[in-house]
Chain A
Amino acid sequence: MEDLTVSFAGRDEPGRRTGQRANVLEGVGFTLAIGAIVGLVGESGCGKSVTAMSILRLLPSPPSRVERGRVLFEGVDLLTLDEGAMRDMRGNRVGMIFQEPMTSLNPTFTVGWQIDEALRLHTPLGRKERHQRCLELLRLVGIGAPERRLAQYPHELSGGLRQRIMIAMALACEPRLLVADEPTTALDVTIQAQILDLLAGIRERLGMAILLITHDLGVVAEYCDEVVVMYAGRVIETAPVRPLFANPRHPYTAGLLASMPKLDGGRGMLPTIPGMVPSPGSRPVGCPFTDRCPNALPRCRTEMPPLEIGPDRHAFACWNPVR
């Protein structure tokens, strides 16, 4: 992904278009190696979900518009594909799972019908073969009694089971890339551990890459190979997981890590990041983190620092990084 910039039409309070456009993503770029798990982290409104939706070209347009940039997948720019070619890509070469499995599953069809749909659309398999494949997929995602599950409707299943069904659907055509947008946020921790271990295991077996979007730094530390940190629509730091946690360079990343209560931490006051994230319409000219930053310099207000790659493939966009 290179220099992706996406704008949305502005709306005033009653919801009328104002004619002004605000860039929700600003020059977002990162790479995902074959078979890697990359964590995309940031707080609400930082643009991580918009990034995911742009890869899949699922953003409604209007109001959204891609201003510039490319999304290269196996050498092809997804943004230049026509809608038919893109549909072949989605659910086939690129799979996706979302946060809320209940709203992403169709309540009026059985689980079996919905898993079968991707196979009907994207494979030449016959009915019997597809049924076998559906059973195989349910076993792959650790669902017992698959014959019975195929005949059930989403509301008959627990949240953990629904998310497994979503994963089975996304894996139906053995995608090369799986985009997972907060796949475990709605689940309890013991179920979250099951699902994330499942995804990590499937990655090993199928060799697909996973873009894991999350706000949970613990999930990133335990499951990802690389991390991309976003703030206010920009990538502000990216690195392999170990150097990022051992030595965060951007003050925002460092502040986030410090402000987390830890299981083995002290019990006094937590370090905090003062203030709030600026909204897309009111982002400053320079670095959007300046007003909250303990390291801010006068230059930060006027000029956005570039994302410069240092040793360790550790890149950060900051004029005055944490040492």
Chain B
Amino acid sequence: MTSNPRQSENPSDDLLAVEDLTKHFPLKTGGVIHAVNGVSLRQRRGETIGIVGESGCGKSTFARLCLRLIEPTSGAIRFDGGDLRSLPARALRAKRRDMQIIFQDPYASLDPRMSVGDIIREPLDIHAIGNRAERRAQVVELLEKVGLPPDAARRYPHEFSGGQRQRIGIARAIALRPKLVVADEPVSALDLSIQSQVLNLLVTLRAEMNLSYLFISHDLAVIRHISDRVAVMYLGRIVELAEVDALYANPAHPYTRALLSAIPQPDPTRRRPRTILAGDLPNPETPPSGCPFHPRCPSALEQCATVYPASRNIGPPDKPHLVDCHLYD
């Protein structure tokens, strides 16, 4: 990997750059889960990268590795110009100001014994931002930003609906004006009419605060709506990475094609014959040899069973469309 095609022209444009990131979870049985396998990715400032894949593909683990919420087994992470992996605990904690996370389950991720005001103010307290009065004023401002009434500060999480709780989680995540926000399935638990409200809020905040999102979802329509570039993960690897329009107009990896074809479309006049993948997702403890997708792949070649394919750029040099597949050798 001497000429890494994931390298962008000017490294200082990068907010986040991870290189060959790997995480193996050892099991009590002596086995190893290969959760993330040599993933490299660069995210520009202000860019939203969507990470899509099915359960167990490693997308949540990958995002947590990027923030060092989980320690990687190997690989490099550069964030905002500095090496994140070599930071000692205290410096890492200070750096966390700039990187926040929004979780999927708004019911489980808020402390039920804290008032909403305390929940949102906590990051400001921890990082000692302003004095007490200033912090209280900021909480009110944040509530307004995410579309909640000021009196919400005195109430408790259980008094709010799922969509409102997700707004509370978002207010807390943006309290420190971070540069990077990892959004881990932030709308998956919400009803359709609430999902669009929260997606719009995330889009508005991104523009107002120049946020970069690492946006994780299994929903390809949501990913398309919010992302600038999209990474498709399968069993611990990014198998395809491209600008959003290129990926949806011209999906290259057989897995991406199958994933797109499997999504039911809300248009009964266009019932299509679909590519139905046979079989289940493989066990990440014993991933298939070669390309891990080969046992389910409709176009598998002989070498797919033995050699993992190198990343190829099938797009123009200035807008790389990277795919890990022997079909493009």
Any B CB within 8 A of the CB of A29: no
Q: What's the minimum C-beta distance from B206 to chain A, rounded to whole angstroms?
A: 12
In the complex, the chain B residue whose C-beta lies closest to that of A193 is: B262
Complex CA distance for A194 and B277, rounded to whole angstroms: 8
Contacts of B277 in A (CB 8 A): 190, 193-194
Tell whether, in the assembled complex, residue A190 and residue B196 are in contact, meaning their CB atoms are under 8 Å apart: no
Any A CB within 8 A of the CB of B86: no
Contacts of A63 in B (CB 8 A): none
Q: What's the minimum C-beta distance from A14 to chain B, rounded to whole angstroms?
A: 13
Tell whether, in the assembled complex, residue B221 and residue A221 are in contact, meaning their CB atoms are under 8 Å apart: no
Given contacts A194-B276, A276-B163, contact A260 B221 (CB under 8 A): yes
Any A CB within 8 A of the CB of B274: yes
Complex CA distance for A190 and B259, rounded to whole angstroms: 6
The residue in A189, A193, A196, A218 that gathers the most chain B C-beta atoms within 10 A of its C-beta is: A189
Any A CB within 8 A of the CB of B263: yes
Any B CB within 8 A of the CB of A259: yes
Complex CA distance for A196 and B264, rounded to whole angstroms: 10
Tell whether, in the assembled complex, residue B263 and residue A189 are in contact, meaning their CB atoms are under 8 Å apart: yes
In the complex, the chain A residue whose C-beta lies closest to that of B52 is: A189
Tell whether, in the assembled complex, residue B221 and residue A263 are in contact, meaning their CB atoms are under 8 Å apart: yes
Tell whether, in the assembled complex, residue A221 and residue B259 are in contact, meaning their CB atoms are under 8 Å apart: no
Contact of B225 among A193, A221, A242, A265 (CB under 8 A): A265
**Chain B contact residues (Cβ within 8 angstroms of A): what range?**
35 or more
Any B CB within 8 A of the CB of A295: no
Tell whether, in the assembled complex, residue A272 and residue B200 are in contact, meaning their CB atoms are under 8 Å apart: yes
Complex CA distance for A246 and B268, rounded to whole angstroms: 9
Any A CB within 8 A of the CB of B142: no
Any B CB within 8 A of the CB of A245: yes
Complex CA distance for A220 and B265, rounded to whole angstroms: 9
Residue pairs across A and B with CB atoms within 8 Å: the count is: 125
Tell whether, in the assembled complex, residue B269 and residue A246 are in contact, meaning their CB atoms are under 8 Å apart: yes
Any A CB within 8 A of the CB of B308: no
Contacts of A272 in B (CB 8 A): 193, 196-197, 200
Any A CB within 8 A of the CB of B69: no
Given contacts A190-B258, A197-B276, A269-B203, contact A263 B193 (CB under 8 A): no
Any A CB within 8 A of the CB of B266: yes
Any B CB within 8 A of the CB of A192: yes
Complex CA distance for A245 and B280, rounded to whole angstroms: 32
Contacts of B276 in A (CB 8 A): 190, 193-194, 197
Any B CB within 8 A of the CB of A267: yes
In the complex, the chain A residue whose C-beta lies closest to that of B204 is: A269
In the complex, the chain B residue whose C-beta lies closest to that of A192 is: B262
Any B CB within 8 A of the CB of A294: no
Any B CB within 8 A of the CB of A173: no
15 A-B residue contacts at CB 8 Å? A158-B281, A188-B55, A189-B218, A190-B259, A192-B264, A197-B274, A221-B266, A221-B271, A242-B268, A245-B269, A257-B266, A261-B221, A263-B221, A263-B248, A276-B161
A residues near B (Cβ < 8 Å) are 43-44, 158, 160-161, 188-194, 196-197, 215-223, 241-242, 245-246, 255-257, 259-265, 267, 269-274, 276-277
Q: Closest 6 interchain pairs by CB?
A: A218-B264, A259-B196, A261-B225, A188-B54, A43-B191, A193-B262
